[in-house]
Amino acid sequence: MEPSASPELLPGTLYLLILRTLRSGPLHGYAIAKRIKEASRDGLEIEDGSLYPALNRMLVKGWLASAWGVSENNRKARFYRLTPEGRAQLEKEAGEFDRLVRAIKLVMRTA
Amino acid sequence: MALWGEIVRRFTYLGRRSQFERELDDEVQFHIDSRADELEQEGVPRAEAILRARREFGSSLRAREETRSAWQFRWLEDLGSDLRYAARAFRRSPSFALTAICCLALGIGANTTIFSVAMEVLFSQPSCRDPRSLAQISIGGVDWIPMQQYRFLRDARVFDGIAGINVQMVTQWKDGDASYKLAATRLTEDFFQVTGVPLAMGRGLQKGDVDSTVLTDGFWRRRLGAQPNVIGRKLVLDGRLFTVVGVLPRGHRTLVGFGFMPDLFVLTDPGEVMMYARLPEGMSHQDARARLESLCQEMDRVYPDPNHKWARGISISGVGGMERLLHNGSGTSMMPVAAFFGMLMVVVGLVLLIACANVSSLLLARSFSRSHELAIRFALGGGRGRILRQLLAESLLLALCGTTGGLLLDVVLTRLISGLPLPMQWIEFVIQPDWRLLAYSAAIAVAVTLAVGLTPAVKGTRAGIAIALKKQDGRAGSRRWSLRNVLVVGQLAVSLVLLSGGLLFIRNLSHATSLNLGFDTAHTVWATFSEQPASCTPERFRELTRAALERFRALPGVDAASLARGVPTAMPIRFSGDVRADTSSHAARLTYNFNSVGLDYFHTMRIPILRGREFLETDSAGAPPVAILNENLARLLFGDADPVGHTVLLPKGEELRIAGVARNSKYSILWEEDALAIYRPYAQNTINDARFVSFVVRAQGSPDALVRALSKTLAALDPEAAVEIKTMRGALQPSLVPSRAGAVAFGAMSLLGLTLASIGLYGVLLYAVSRRIREIGIRVALGATPANVLSMVAGESARLVAVGAAIGLAVAVFAVRPLSMFLVPEVRASDPVNFLAVACGLALVAALATVAPTLRALRVDPAVALRHE
């Protein structure tokens, strides 16, 4: 089952974005969504309803681990962090994504 | 690896689902709250902020559902909920569930128990290092190889060693005043090194351990009281001191297999051995065969024998499993034992089939009474596959419970069998549950699920919504009816077949127990007496024998005493060769029983002399040689003419004048028929340097008291002599084991089958009556007499039983035929009386099963019944 990502997102890129966002350290779900939105200067918006299924699928695959902690606004929140497997997956997917984008760009420019 | 981690994580999720749900709720709430906080900071009023945050999040229900599904094994959870639903349904009708589970547990328990025992007896692996590279080798068409040939093969070093064993040896153990006969397997020096048999204590026997012995666990426990410091203890075996150097572990299985377990192992010269070769790594059985063949050709050149070529009839077989079972080197095939277990497996399979039919029938009845529920589920859009799975889940649950119960039964029964003191000496079984049993049970559970559930599930889901909702049996009902009837008829037929077999075995046992052996078994005791050739001259032995006989005759309670070389059935002697009567010009090639017997032998054994005379004092060593024939041999050689005074020529050219004819009796085994026999006077014994003799003694009253007296008498004569004393009746017990085992196993199984089938009949009839209560009420109201009602219900039963019995009888006539290989000749498998008795028995039980449903039908009150829904 592939994530039902928002139409603006290429299929499968949601995992990549989440992995990349978590590279700098553990975050809770809301912060992940916000960070992606800000980093893309509002260009990418993740539908809130699809964020949590994606996070859980990644937990099942073992790319992420989660732990409960206290958020900056003093609420109990679940923080996600990268596992070594997740880091490896990020490198792999980032490389693949780069190749894909380069290829698409080439096609767009020349064809 | 990654997949494995994923499965583990999913399973952990399954274990803590409620916590997961709570945490997911918390997380979604946190997300919405955080967004609301942010909106509030942007100036949106709190209430509106929360609403907007919720809207932005979208359907939290869908998000949660998708999140959950990320973790789930879909089918597993569905199966779980199906099973939970089934369990709830069973809790609502516990009597149904209990009946079904008990039926299955009995059927499955019978199956797995026989399976466990058969696996242990037939296919168990011997306890040794790497059994797969060990192989039994036979050359020259025989298993037993003289030591000279053994040494030749061993010294050729083609294999990584050849171990030789001789399992047929007994030794006399003197423990204080008592003396016991032990099975002492004799080994070649390198046995323990080649086979790598593990020990519980001490070490194995090695080269040079002449007076050392290794004990088996059973001997150590039973006879030595499991002394912990047994290593170094001295045992007197055949008058020599042996030191215990090791003890085998509990649950040891010998290379010979089939439960054989001696008391101890020694390195005394085995004389001849069975050979077990350790194949070097990578050598296949084919390679080994080829190497062995060329080796044996060389051996035939070194030790030429015009009559025997070792290079012929070479066989290599594994030491466990099928290969050992099929190995048939010296004609001692284990196939009858295998056939017996094969037959038992068929029998328990049939019992399980009956049990399945019962449960299937119960489920069928249930699915009709639930047709309304099923129809509603259809109407609500339940797919047929989904409902089918639900119904199969019920039978799966039943099968699982039944299998668990059956396995418990198996463990209890096999433990009982393992601990049972077998009437056969030196046979021991270690039956433990293992993976084969588990695999077998799992297969049975699946098979039972399908056998039990498939028909009711398919039938139950086939009926259309419309018919089912009308909640009427209608036409569809009458068709389902016949299916249940078919099941009951089948059960009755199968149980009739089982009963026929069971009755045959029970009659067989009673025949074997009360079998007239042709001599007196009730009052006779036999004793064997032997001396070591090194310590006793033939003259002294003859003197001892004469003295023993004199003292026996003087004992109080002794009626008569005599001596002989062999003892019928306990120590038979058989010869084969050309035998000719002087009235005939050509010889007949015969196998006959032989015995040389002392004065008074026929009187002591109560074997009547029909013609001529007994042996007399005058038939001494120098007198003309005489013989007594049995009736069979006399008739074979001389026809109806009187043979007394004629002569008979034996294979070695001996001419014997016939002194008399003795009544036929049994000589070697209980079920022999038309056996031939020749007796000669003991005084004319051709073996003059024998140090072995048997005594037969007749007691005036019970023979048991004589055993001690005889033992004392012989011990007083020579305490070093090897002695074995048994009552004839006691000694016959081992030969009854096959009949007993058959009667117990077959009898129990057929009774179990009959019980299950009668429960099935009872259930079907009761169900029929309960569905026809309204009809019966109307009939009674319209003037039907109790006799009419009775004939209606009982007639139904009689019809089912008649059809079942007819089919069963037709099958049984053929099915029991192969059983005759296990029966004494007096019990014929095709005996019509047998079938008649079985059919009557079945009818009787069926009548009992009909009583309750009939009474219920008779008690129908029209006033109540017409309102009955």
CB count within 10 Å of CB B110 equals: 26
Question: What percent of chain B lies above the pLDDT cut of 70?
Answer: 94
Q: Does residue B648 have a pLDDT over 50?
A: yes
Residue A62 at interface with chain B, using a CB cutoff of 8 Å: yes
pLDDT of residue B607: 93
**What average pLDDT does chain B have?**
84
Is A92 within 8 Å of chain B by CB?
no
User: Which H or E element spans position B214?
Assistant: strand B212-215
Percent of chain B with pLDDT over 90: 20
- The pLDDT confidence band at residue A79, using thresholds 50, 70 and 90, is very high
Tokens of B550: 């004199």
pLDDT for residue A39 = 84
Q: Does A95 touch chain B (CB under 8 A)?
A: no
More confident: B73 or A86: A86
Yes or no: say if B362 and B455 are a contact pair by the CB < 8 Å rule: no
The residues on B that touch A, with CB distances below 8 Å, are 2, 5-6, 9-10, 23-24, 26-28, 30-31, 33-35, 37, 56-60, 62-64, 66-67, 69-71
Is the pLDDT confidence value at A97 over 60?
yes
- Higher-confidence position of B819 and A47: B819
Chain A residues close to B8, C-beta within 8 Å:
none
Instruction: Return the minimum-mean-pLDDT range out of B283-297, B454-468, B504-518, B615-629.
Output: B454-468
Q: Please report residues of A whose CB lies closer than 8 A to that of B37.
A: 73
- DSSP code of residue B852: H
Give the residue from chain A lying closest to B12, CA to CA.
Answer: A60
Largest CA distance in chain A: 54
Q: Provide, as residue numbers in chain B, all residues whose Cβ is less than 8 Å from the Cβ of A28.
A: 30
d(Cα B552, Cα B546) in Å, to the nearest integer? 10
- For B394-416, what is the mean pLDDT? 89
Verify whether the Cβ–Cβ distance A29 to B37 is below 8 Å: no
Cβ B9–A62 below 8 Å, yes or no?
yes
For an interface test with A, give the residue of B67, B71, B73 to mutate (most A CBs within 10 A): B67
Chain B residue nearest residue A72, CA to CA: B34
**CB of A94 within 8 Å of any CB in chain B?**
no
- What confidence tens digit (pLDDT) does each residue in B670-703 have? 767 788 999 999 988 777 667 889 999 999 988 8
Q: Do B30 and A49 touch (CB under 8 A)?
A: no
Cβ of B26 and A73 within 8 Å?
no
B60: closest CA of chain A, how far (Å) = 7
Neighbours of B29 (CB within 10 A): 13
CB contact under 8 A, B66 and A29: no
CB contact under 8 A, B26 and A78: yes
Q: Is the pLDDT of residue B597 over 90?
A: yes
A28: contact with B, CB 8 A cutoff: yes
Q: What is the pLDDT at residue B610?
A: 93
Which residues in chain B are contacts of A33 at CB distance < 8 A? 31
Helix/strand/coil for B541:
helix
Condensed to tens digits (0 to 9), the pLDDT of residues B737-776 reads 777 778 888 888 888 888 888 888 888 888 878 877 888 8
What is the average per-residue pLDDT within B530-537? 79
Pairing mode, if any, of strands B272-278 and B647-649? unpaired
Contact between residue B521 and residue B607 where contact means Cβ atoms under 8 Å apart: no
Distance from CA of A67 to the nearest CA of B (A): 11
State which residue of chain B sits closest to A29, comparing Cα positions: B31
Position A74 pLDDT exceeds 80: yes
Would you call B463 exposed, middle or buried from its count of C-beta atoms within 10 A (0-12, 13-18, 19+)? buried
Distance CA B754, CA B295 (A): 60
Residue pair B188/B148 in contact by the 8 Å Cβ criterion: no
Q: How far is B31 from chain A (nearest CA, A)?
A: 5
C-alpha span between B644 and B658 (Å, rounded): 5
Measured between CA atoms, how close is B37 to chain A, in angstroms? 9
| Contact residues, chain A, for B63 at CB < 8 Å | 48-50, 52-53
Spatial CA neighbour of B261 closest among B194, B229, B215, B195: B215
- Lowest average pLDDT, out of A55-59, B205-209, B320-324, B840-844, goes to B320-324
A49/B60 CB distance under 8 A: yes
CA nearest neighbour of B663 among B626, B633, B636: B633
Is residue B677 within 8 A of residue B630, CB to CB? The reply is yes
Q: Which residue has the tokens 């909640």?
A: B471
Query: Worst-scoring range by mean pLDDT, B276-285, B587-596, B659-668, B818-827?
Result: B818-827
The pLDDT-based confidence of B560 (bands split at 50, 70, 90) is very high
pLDDT of residue B330: 47
Chain A residues near residue B66 by CB distance under 8 angstroms: 4, 49-50, 52-53
Question: Between A and B, how many CB-CB pairs are < 8 A?
Answer: 73
pLDDT in tens, B39-85: 888 888 888 888 888 888 877 777 788 787 777 776 777 788 888 98
Q: Which of B6, B34, B57 sits opposite A61 (nearest CB)?
A: B6
Question: What's residue B868's pLDDT?
Answer: 59
Q: pLDDT tens across B436-493, in order?
A: 888 888 888 888 888 888 887 777 777 655 555 554 444 444 444 567 788 888 888 9
Q: Is there a contact between A30 and B28 if contact means CB atoms under 8 Å apart?
A: no
From chain A, the residues in CB contact with B55 under 8 A are: none
User: Is A60 close to B6, i.e. CB distance below 8 A?
Assistant: yes
Q: How confident is the model at residue B807 (pLDDT cuts 50, 70, 90)?
A: very high
Contact call for A48 and B57, based on CB within 8 A:
yes
A72 and B CB contact within 8 Å: no
pTM value? Answer: 0.69
pLDDT score of B424: 62
ipTM of the complex: 0.84
User: B62 to chain A, minimum CA–CA distance in Å?
Assistant: 7
B59: chain A residues, CB-CB within 8 Å:
49
Distance (Å) from the C-alpha of residue A13 to the closest C-alpha of chain B?
18
Q: How far is the alpha carbon of B47 from chain A, nearest alpha carbon, in Å?
A: 19
CB contact under 8 A, B66 and A50: yes
Any idea of the CA torsion for B7, B8, B10, B13, to the nearest 10 degrees?
170
Is the separation of the CB atoms in B529 and B695 below 8 Å?
yes
DSSP H helices, B370-434, are 371-379, 384-419
Partner residue opposite B63 with nearest CB, options A49, A59, A71: A49
CB contact (8 A) between residue A56 and residue B71:
yes
Is the per-residue pLDDT at B175 higher than 90?
A: no
User: What are the angstrom distances between the C-alpha of B123 and each of A18, B256, B672?
Assistant: 59, 11, 29
The per-residue pLDDT for range B116-149, each reduced to its tens digit, is 888 888 888 888 888 889 999 888 877 888 888 8
Q: Is the pLDDT of residue B658 over 70?
A: yes
For an interface test with A, the pick among B7, B23, B27 (most A C-beta atoms closer than 10 Å) comes out as B27
Mutate: best of B31, B37, B64, partner A, most A CBs <10 A: B31
The minimum CA-CA distance between A37 and chain B, rounded to whole Å, is: 13
Which residue of chain B is at minimal alpha-carbon distance from A51?
B63
**pLDDT of A12 strictly over 80:** no
> Taking 80 as the threshold, does the pLDDT of residue B662 lie above it?
yes
Instruction: Give me the pLDDT at residue B469, please.
Output: 55
- Taking contacts as CB-CB distances below 8 angstroms, the residues of chain A near B71 are 56, 60
Residues of chain A contacting residue B34, judged by C-beta atoms under 8 Å apart:
30, 71, 73, 75
Q: Which residues of B touch A61 (CB under 8 A)?
A: 2, 6
* pLDDT tens per residue across span B84-124: 988 998 888 888 888 889 988 988 998 898 888 888 888 88
Using CB atoms within 10 Å of the CB of residue B105, give its burial: 0 to 12 exposed, 13 to 18 middle, 19+ buried.
buried
Question: Which chain A residue lies closest to B5 (C-alpha atoms)?
Answer: A62
Task: Supply the pLDDT for residue B482.
Answer: 67
Q: How far is A100 from chain B (nearest CA, A)?
A: 26
Q: Is the CB of residue B149 less than 8 Å from the CB of residue B272?
A: no
Q: Does A67 touch chain B (CB under 8 A)?
A: no
* Chain B residue with the nearest C-alpha to that of A85: B2
| β-sheet bridge partners, residue A70 | A76
